[in-house]
Amino acid sequence: MTHPVLSRIPFFGKFVDERFLEYRRRSTSLAGIVGALVAVALFEYRLLHDHVISWDLLAVAMTMVVVKMTMMVWYRFNG
């Protein structure tokens, strides 16, 4: 595996290491999960409180869930 571009720049080389990349990966994954949960919660609130089905929120939440599950299966069998 080659190092990312940021680690090749002399100034950033001491800041970007494996720990930084792992923290960035974890935080991005957590942000995606939280984003999906917020979309589902907002969809349910609008459904139960306002009695309106927000198809756009449902589409966003389901897309995030499907991508996450697909990648988990992909990495399980190919990683």
Residues 6+ apart with CB under 8 A from 7: 13, 16, 17
pLDDT tens string 25-68: 889 888 988 988 999 999 999 999 999 999 999 999 889 889 98
Confidence of residue 9 (pLDDT cuts 50, 70, 90): low
Check: CB of residue 65 under 8 Å from CB of residue 36: yes
> Strand, helix or coil at 4?
coil
| Identity of the residue numbered 72 | M
Average pLDDT estimate for 12-30 = 78
Check pLDDT > 60 for residue 2.
no
Other CB atoms within 10 Å distance of the CB of residue 37: 13
